[in-house]
């Protein structure tokens, strides 16, 4: 069955139900909310039933009127698991190895982290440094012999010699 553009979409129905839920919790009528928003009570009813899509601007105004964040309207939404919805999703599969930079001064911890990473099904390259100063030099490429590409992820101990992990993070920022 083909959906028409004018048919209410699941997200519109969900957001509308969240508007109705909040309005009822505040014990407001459709007219009360319509007056606050500057639209008719019929328009509020259309929003609540998902018949009319709520624009970003109206959603922002509703969040201010209700005293909630924009996220309130999306909390609990799960996309329907229809084949059409699955076909629309974009699947991202990483083919290149994940580049991991590990900054750890304790050999035992390094071994534990390496074994945890080895147990993953994903390909990876790992480069290990042993103190905060090495990390900063590595990232600034001060050694000149930095063949390891920019890491995708950095695992770092916060209590490192020469330059603590927190100090290294401040310097990176």
Confidence of residue 27 (pLDDT cuts 50, 70, 90): very high
Name, in order, each residue with C-beta under 8 angstroms of 4's C-beta and a sequence gap of 6 or more: none
Residue range(s) in the chain whose domain bears CATH number 3.40.50.2300? 98-172
Residue 1's pLDDT band, with cuts at 50, 70 and 90, is very low
pLDDT of residue 84 exceeding 70, the answer is: no
Could you give the CA distance from residue 73 to residue 13 in angstroms, rounded to a whole number? 11
Which band of pLDDT confidence, cut at 50, 70 and 90, is reported for residue 86? Answer: low
Instruction: Give the mean pLDDT of 116-136.
Output: 83
Within the chain, all domains assigned CATH 1.10.260.40 are found at 10-88
pLDDT higher than 90, residue 47:
yes
CATH of domain 10-88: 1.10.260.40
Q: How many Cα atoms are found within 13 Å in the side-chain-facing hemisphere of 164?
A: 5
């Amino acid at each position: 069955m083909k959906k028409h553009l004018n048919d209410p979409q699941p997200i519109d129905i969900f957001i509308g139900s969240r508007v109705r839920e909040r309005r009822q919790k505040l014990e407001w009528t459709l007219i009360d909310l319509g007056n606050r928003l500057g639209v008719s009570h019929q328009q509020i009813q259309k929003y609540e039933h998902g018949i009319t899509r709520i624009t970003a601007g109206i959603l922002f105004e509703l969040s201010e009127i209700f005293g909630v964040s924009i996220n309130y309207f999306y909390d609990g939404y799960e996309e329907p698991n229809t084949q059409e919805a699955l076909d629309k999703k974009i699947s991202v599969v990483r083919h290149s190895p994940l580049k991991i930079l590990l900054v750890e001064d304790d050999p035992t911890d390094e071994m534990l982290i390496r074994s945890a990473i080895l147990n993953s099904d994903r390909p990876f390259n790992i480069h290990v440094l042993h103190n905060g100063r090495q990390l900063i030099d590595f990232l600034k490429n001060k050694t000149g012999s930095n063949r390891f590409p920019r890491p995708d992820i950095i695992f770092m101990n916060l209590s490192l010699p020469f330059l603590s992990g927190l100090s290294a993070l401040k310097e990176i920022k």
